[in-house]
Amino acid sequence: MSAQTDPVVQAIGVSKQFGSTQALLGVDTALRSGRCLGLVGRNGAGKSTLVSILCGLLAPDAGEVRFDGEPAPPLSDISAWRSRIATVFQHSMVVPQLTVAENLFLGDLPRSRGIVDWRDMHAQARQVLREWDFNVAPDVECATLTVEQRQIVEIAGALVRGMRIVLLDEPTAALERDGARRLFERVRALVASGVAVLYISHHLEEVFEICHDVVVLRDGEVVLTAPTPALTEDQLVSAMVGDVEVPGRTAQAASPGSRRPRETSSEERLVVSDVVAKSTRGSVRGASLVVHAGERVGVTGLLGAGVATLARVIVGAHGYQAGTITLDGRSLPPERPDVALAAGIGYIPEDRWLEGFVGLLGVSENMTMSIARRLGGRLGILTPSARTHAARPLAEQLSLVSRGLGQPVAELSGGNQQKVTVARALASRPKLIIAITPTRGVDVASKELLLSALADITSATGASLLLASDEFGDLKLCDRVIVLVRGQVFTEFTEPPYDTEELIAATEGLVPAGRE
Q: Which stretch binds another protein (CB under 8 A): 122-130, 232-240, 263-271, 411-419?
A: 411-419
Q: Decide if residue 318 touches another protein (CB under 8 A).
A: no
Of 116-124, 274-282, 297-305, 370-378: span binding another protein (CB under 8 A): 370-378
Q: Any contact of residue 370 with another protein (CB under 8 A)? A: yes
Would the CA dihedral through 68, 69, 70, 71 be positive or negative?
Answer: positive
Q: Considering just the CA atoms, what is the radius of gyration of the chain in Å?
A: 24
Cis? peptide before 256, omega within 30° of 0: yes
The stretch among 18-26, 102-110, 252-260, 266-274 that binds another protein (CB under 8 A) is 18-26
| CA distance linking residue 33 with residue 54, whole number of Å | 16
- Contact between 383 and another protein by CB under 8 A: the answer reads yes
Single out the residue of 138, 248, 301, 349 in contact with another protein (rule: CB under 8 A).
349
CB atoms inside a 10 Å sphere around CB 487: 24
Selected range binding another protein among 66-74, 283-291, 381-389, 484-492, rule: CB under 8 A: 381-389
* String of DSSP letters for 221-265: EEEEEEEGGG--HHHHHHHHHTT---HHHHHHHHTTGGGPSPP--
Cα torsion angle, 446, 447, 449, 453, sign: positive
| 452 belongs to the binding site for another protein (CB under 8 A) | no
Could you say whether residue 78 binds another protein (CB under 8 A)? no
Query: Could you tell me which stretch among 29-37, 184-192, 406-414, 464-472 binds another protein (CB under 8 A)?
Result: 406-414
10 Å Cβ neighbour count for 504? 16
Which residue stretch of 140-148, 238-246, 283-291, 389-397 sits at the interface with another protein (rule: CB under 8 A)? Answer: 389-397
Cα 26 to Cα 14: distance, rounded to the nearest angstrom: 5
Is residue 426 within 8 Å of 445, Cβ to Cβ?
A: no
Q: Per-residue x/- mask for another protein, residues 421 to 440, rule CB under 8 A?
A: ---x----------------
β-strands 284-292, 21-31 pairing: unpaired
According to CB under 8 A, which one of 48, 255, 300, 469 is a site residue for another protein? 48
C-beta of 203 vs 392, nearer to another protein? 392
Which helix or strand (DSSP H or E) is residue 12 part of?
strand 9-18
344 binds another protein (CB under 8 A): no
Q: Does 59 bind another protein (CB under 8 A)?
A: no
CA atoms within 13 A on the CB side of 67: 16
Can residue 449 be called a binding residue for another protein (CB under 8 A)?
no
Stretch that binds another protein, among 30-38, 101-109, 258-266, 412-420 (CB under 8 A): 412-420
C-alpha–C-alpha distance, residues 277 and 239, integer Å: 45
Smallest distance from another protein to CB 323, Å: 22
Q: Which is nearer to another protein, 146 or 407 (CB)?
A: 407
Site for another protein (CB under 8 A): which residue of 10, 39, 47, 236? Answer: 47
Which of 34, 110, 319, 337 lies at the binding interface for another protein (CB under 8 A)? 337
Q: Are 24 and 45 in contact (CB under 8 A)?
A: no
* Residue 287 φ/ψ, nearest 5 degrees: -105, 140
The torsion defined by the Cα of 349, 350, 354 and 358, in degrees rounded to 10, comes to 40
Q: Which of 2, 4, 5, 20: binder of another protein (CB under 8 A)?
A: 20
Q: Which of residues 161-200 bind another protein (CB under 8 A)?
A: 169
279 versus 388: smaller Cβ distance to another protein: 388
| Shortest separation between residue 415's beta carbon and another protein, angstroms | 7
Smallest distance from the beta carbon of 282 to another protein, in angstroms? 19
Q: For the chain, first and last CA: distance in Å?
A: 64
Smallest distance, Å, CB 326 to another protein?
18
